[in-house]
Each structure stands twice: as C-alpha cells, then as structure tokens.
A and B are shown apart, each in its own frame.
Chain A
C-alpha cells in the first residue's frame, strides 16, 4: 500500500454471515409458523371489512361489564379493547360486516341506546366502516403496490449496477417486509392499511441503506482491483457504517417521537416503522452484500479476474 492512502482496516461482517442467516431464518420461520397457527394474518377492517367505533367515556369503564351490556341486548359478535392510554377512558369497538348493530343511519343512536343509560357523557369519536368487497380491493391494491415498488426497484438497481445487485436488493427488501409481517403476527397485532404504508416506507428506507453500501462497494472495487469481492465488501460496509448508524439513529429518534407522542391512531404505523428501520439497517449490512456474494459464486467478478487470489502483501499491508 502506498503510504498516502490510509491502511484499510475493517470489521469482518461477511465472515459472520452464517449467524445472520440463522438469525433471519429463526424470525422468518417463527413468523411463518405464527401466521399458520393464527390462520392467516390478523387483518384490520381495511382488509377484512367491518366497522370500528372509537368511544370515549367520561370515567373509567370495565370492558367486561360493557360486553355484558352488548350481550344483554343480543347484539351478536362485538370485539372490545381499550384504546390509547388508561386515563383517556377510550375503547375501540369492532363489529363484523354483518353486525346486528348494522352500519346504517341509526348506528350511533343504537350505541347510545345500549351504552348511554349506564355511561352518560360518552363521546363517539370515530367510526370507520369498510365493506367486504372494498376490503378485498384494498388487499389487492396493497399487494400490487408492493409488487410494483419492488419491480421498479429491481429495474433501476439493475440499470445502475448489475442484475446481481438488483436481485439481491429485492430479496433483501422482501426479507425486511416479511420480518415486519412476522413480528406483527407474532405479537398478534392488527395488519392494517397504514401498516402496509409503513412497509412501503421501510422498503424505501432499507433500499436507501443498501444502495449506499452497494455504491461504496462499486467505488472500492475500482480502487482495490486486486482484492477479493468479500474483502472489498467488508471494507465498504465498514466505511459506510457510521453513516448507516447515524441515519438509522436520527430516523429512529423521530419514529420514537411519533410512537410516543403521535397518538393511538398512528401507533401501529410508527411501530411498523420502528421494527422496519431496525431490520432495514441490519439487512443492508448482513443480508444484501452476502446475497451478492452468493450470486457471484462460481464466477469471479470482473474486477478480481485479473488475479484469482488477493495478493498476500496487500492483504497484510
């Protein structure tokens, strides 16, 4: 090495790729098992149809006694859960598509009829109804949006880099999406439209990270023509590591602010982002480059073709 360039020292990220494979596999398999045992994802009303009503009470309420009131009136299947923090006294009432309470002109009148005498001063803050057919449409659109996004990304990355990077980027993003979905299934959290929006944001974010690393790898391949790809990758990931961590850090800071202060309605969205940003950071280090390396196996990259083995004096440097 020339003394003007500083000695490349790096962390052996790719050497640890076995652990990364195990880590990712464990989450994904657990998620898969969870989805199977739950009989699919826990879809919110956006995707399965139905009605959600957010109600605020003047004082603390007991969910069991509320359930009793609905049962007394023979109003069929209702799902009750507390919503937001304790001191707000809010509940979220979930009704199926064919609820006995209906969704028509008298829904709030009926709810006041059922609850109002026992709990005067209740406030119906939000009503959301999605028809079953709309749910299917939204599901289709969501899937389509993700597929379209991944397709565009594959094209662009292949155009700017090589097909190996394109395919690796897509697989990495798929990995990220599936991990977030797995976490949601494992925690039995509802899968809603805003979670899909968060997923697409995570796709954009994680790709951002991955591209920065790929970019540096390409640059370093030019600078260290005689080095093996794995060596260049380790160097590049190390060089971009502080940027990766800082950007993740600032993003996590604002996501945390959203999570804590943003209100209950966007909590799940922020939570999906939180998980997604963490996993996106991990995957751009431990998943994307190993995948490129894997796809390169058997055929040396053109930069390393000149010499099949890295020159020992350079390795020692």
Chain B
C-alpha cells in the first residue's frame, strides 16, 4: 500500500480514537461535572466508591407460597361447600394433597373448585387427591417472582437518592445491584434486604407455645433488642390464629409519625379501599382481642382492638429510631418481595479508597510507562522511540474502545492496562531483534527492515493469539472486577498488534524507507 494512503488511514484511526477518548478526558481532567458528560469511560465502583451487591431471589419460596395459598383457599372453599374431607395439606413446595373421608369424592373440575386447579395436574389415589404444580407453571411463577423482585427493589433503591443506580438480572435468579457513590451502606442493606411481608393475625392469649392447637394456630416471636449494645435480649412468643386476616398488599401509603405522648416514631399505614373495608370488618368482629402485626415472620406489636377501625388506618410501633421508621415506611410503600432474597456477594468501597486507588494505579501507569520509555530509547535509540509512540497510540486505542462500548474501568482493568504496556512492546522487540539479526547478515538496511517485519509477523501472531485465549477464558469468570481485567487485556492485545506492527512500520516507512539513500538505521 502507498505510504501516504497508509499514513492517512492510520491518522484517521487516531482521530476517531481521540474523538471517543475526548469525553473521558473532559469528564475527569477538566472542571466539567463528570455526571453531565455523555460517552465517557465509566469508573468501576472500586474506583469511584459505592456498593456492588449480588442478591439471590429465592424464587422457590414464591412457588411454595403459591401452593400454600392454593391449599389454604381450597380448604376454605371446601368447608363453605360442606364437602366431606379430612384435610388439605401441602406436602412439598409444588404439591398439595386433599384427604377425603373414605368413600366420599369431590369433583374439582367444576365451579367453584375449578379455578384452583388450572395450574395443577390432578391424580386420585384412593381417598387422596394429589395436586401437582405443572412444570411450565413453576417456570412462570419463578420468572414472575424475579421480575417482580426487580421492580420492587428498583422502587426501594429510588428512595436512596443515588444518581445512577443500576439493577440487572444475572443468570437464573440473581440480581446485581450497583450503587455508585453510596454513602450509607447500612441503610442500603436495610432497604434492600427485607422481604417486607406484612401480615395481620388475631392472637390467642390463653394458649402458650406448649399448649397451642397445632392445626389452627401457629407461634411467632417478638424480638426485643438492646439498642445501645445491639444485642438480642429475648424473644416473646405469641400464639396466633393461623388464618391471615390481611396482608400488606393493600397498603396505599406508609409514613413516619410521632407518638405525641412518648415522642416515639412509628409507621402509620393507610389502606386502599379494599384493604380499608376488610380492616373495618376484621376489627368490628374482634373488638377486645389483640391484633398481631407481623413483619417478615416477626411480631412487631399486638395492640388491643378497642373499636372498629373504619378509616383504613393502622400503625406499626416498635423500638424504631426515626431513620429506621422512615426506612420501614419506604420499604412498605414499595411493596413486598414475592420471595425472600439473600445477599450472595457484597463489595462496598468508600469514595476515599476509590480515589486512592485511581491515584495509585495512575502512578503505576506513569512510572511503568517511564521505565519502558527510557529502556526502549536507550536500547533501540530512534526505533525505540517509534515503539514508545506506538505504545501511546495503543493506550489511546484501548481507552477509546472502552469508551465507545460504554465499558467500565475497574482497578483490575487499570492493572490490565499497566501490564499491557509491558507486554505490548514485546511485538516491537521481536521485530527489532529480527532487524538487528538481518543487519548482521546483510549490508542493506532497507531489506533488513522489510525482512525483520515479515519474519517477526508470524511469531507475533502465534504468540498473541494464544495469549488472547487465556484472556478469553478469563472473560467467562463471573465476577465483575476480574472481567474488567480480561476486557482491557484482550483489547490491549489486539490494539498492540495493530500499533506494534502497522503503526511502527509506518514510522519506519516515513523516516527510513522514504529516503533515496539509506545507509544506516538507529536500532
């Protein structure tokens, strides 16, 4: 190819690369507010500070819950319809069994039972009817649970006031949450963590955990904490009637209020119209009894119902600080998660540590670059400077490709770039050594340059392709930071082949091969 055409093409590549790098430069090295700059290279949470969470949605629990509810509602309807049965029990997350009185049958295919069985396969064995959740239904429930969880978590995170939060599905049942610039780590966990299932039960004050009726009642506990030392003092047992009277799904709003007498914060709930009607009915029927408010299986309080509550208002009091009460309000407003979640992985980095890391890796980059520059210039003279110029081009290319793809630069990614500096000169070293060898063999520097490039090319290709394999294997690692390293390393390998072979060659073309008479080269 004509040298001038080649030169223009390479110049074009450089200009495009600079175009993509410019926003990054403007965002981090000028007075511009990084947030307002589009197309910049994003810094990973380990460099700018923030929280990375990988939470697992226990979707299997949502499946279990569907079957549990089906079994309970079916039982209620069968009682209403006066069917002769012994019990309906859940035998596994996906299976419920109706035990009929011997000789009696029930036709589940007709109203009002048919609506319960659309999701199930039926199997009658003597006086047992087995309802098994169909596999496609299980899949659908799980998928919905994850989708819904994502939605609820998004709502809760909005309450944190983070400027660029990100939530992503990962794999089958994980959600990766990234909160750049997060300040209060505990608060984030407090908002994200709880399932926030709110349930109302009637208590049975006469029963104890040793004497309660296992068929119709359950025991749940109230935890009493010493706030000063953060230790659990005791657990108060409550015997509750098994039937759930009302759940949090009817909550319209939840706000922090203060008890005028004690000045204690509490969470005031207001129900929507359906919830308000139900709440009125429940409280009217049960005046004088205790209504237990249960949040995520823990009894919050069990106040006495003094009169029918018709305004659709309830309150949750407990040992809250103002902040905890307002967080709980936010969580309840955002709705409950369809299944509990568990934090699989947390990586939280403070902003100051992020800054230190940026400074440290930039220093390493500069010092490493300086080392290589000095070495190459001393050992290969002018040719060494060609290699260094190619190296600078290489770094610009890496940054521009990362910016163009909207990639995120992490600390290991920075390490990858630093490492690339060391390894990228290898291709030039291979070429230069070849040229030196050729120069020993021949008097013609022009031929030596051409031969050197040609002979080194195959070696460079083989050596880099194999390194690329290692980097690609690294890419399939799950965790973010390591991926960042693999990405910059892979891009670095590809970019270095371009700069070391093509860009360096251009310098030789321009500086040496253009000359009419070439007596010696500086290598």
Give residues in A with beta carbon < 8 Å to B: 4-6, 46, 54, 103-110, 113, 123-131, 133-134, 137-138, 141-142, 144-146, 148-149, 152-153, 156-157, 160, 193-194, 196-197, 200-201, 203-205, 207-208, 211-212, 215-216, 219, 239-240, 242-243, 246-247, 249-255, 257-258, 260-263, 265-266, 269-270, 273
Contact = CB atoms under 8 A, between A and B. Distances in A.
Given A253-B371, A258-B418, A261-B364, A109 B230 contact: yes
A216 B460 CA distance: 12
Contacts of A266: 361, 411-412, 415
Contact of B469 (A103, A113, A153, A273): A153
Contact of A126 (B343, B349, B464, B481): B349
Given A149-B474, A266-B361, 12 more contacts: A113-B230, A129-B343, A156-B466, A200-B471, A208-B426, A212-B463, A250-B426, A250-B429, A257-B364, A261-B363, A262-B360, A265-B357
B63 to A, nearest CB: 20
Chain A residues touching B, majority SS: helix
Contacts of B364: 254, 257-258, 260-262
A218 B23 CA distance: 48
23 contacts: A106-B186, A110-B230, A113-B229, A124-B350, A127-B348, A129-B346, A133-B344, A141-B476, A141-B478, A152-B469, A197-B412, A200-B470, A200-B471, A204-B471, A204-B489, A212-B430, A216-B459, A257-B363, A258-B364, A261-B367, A265-B46, A265-B411, A266-B361
A211 B463 contact: yes
Contacts, number: 234
Nearest to A108: B186
Interface of B: 46, 54, 185-187, 189-190, 193, 229-230, 342-350, 352-353, 356-357, 360-361, 363-365, 367-369, 371-372, 375-376, 379, 411-412, 415, 418-419, 421-423, 425-426, 429-430, 433, 437, 440-441, 455, 458-459, 462-474, 476-479, 481-482, 485-486, 489
Given A105-B193, A138-B478, A261-B360, A242 B433 contact: yes
Contacts of A243: 426, 429-430, 433
B411 A247 contact: no
B337 to A, nearest CB: 15
B189 A104 contact: yes
- Most chain A beta-carbon contacts within 10 A, residue among B376, B433, B473: B473
Nearest to A207: B466
A256 to B, nearest CB: 8
A54 B430 CA distance: 44
A215 B360 contact: no
Given A104-B193, A194-B412, A204-B471, A254 B465 contact: no
Contacts of B189: 104-105, 107
**Residue in B186, B367, B419, B429 with the greatest tally of chain A CB atoms within 10 Å:** B419
A254 B412 contact: no
B459 A212 contact: yes
A-B pairs with lowest CB-CB distance, top 7: A254-B368, A204-B470, A149-B473, A263-B360, A254-B422, A251-B422, A204-B467
A109, A146, A203, A219 — which one has the most chain B CB atoms within 10 A of its CB? A203
Nearest to B351: A125
Contacts of B54: 134
Contacts of A270: 415
B25 to A, nearest CB: 22
Given A106-B230, A138-B478, A215-B459, A153 B470 contact: yes
A131 B343 contact: yes
A59 B479 CA distance: 35
A83 B430 CA distance: 40
Given A193-B482, A250-B422, A270-B415, A134 B344 contact: yes
A84 B498 CA distance: 38
A250 B371 contact: yes
Contacts of A212: 430, 459, 463
Nearest to A73: B229
A143 to B, nearest CB: 11
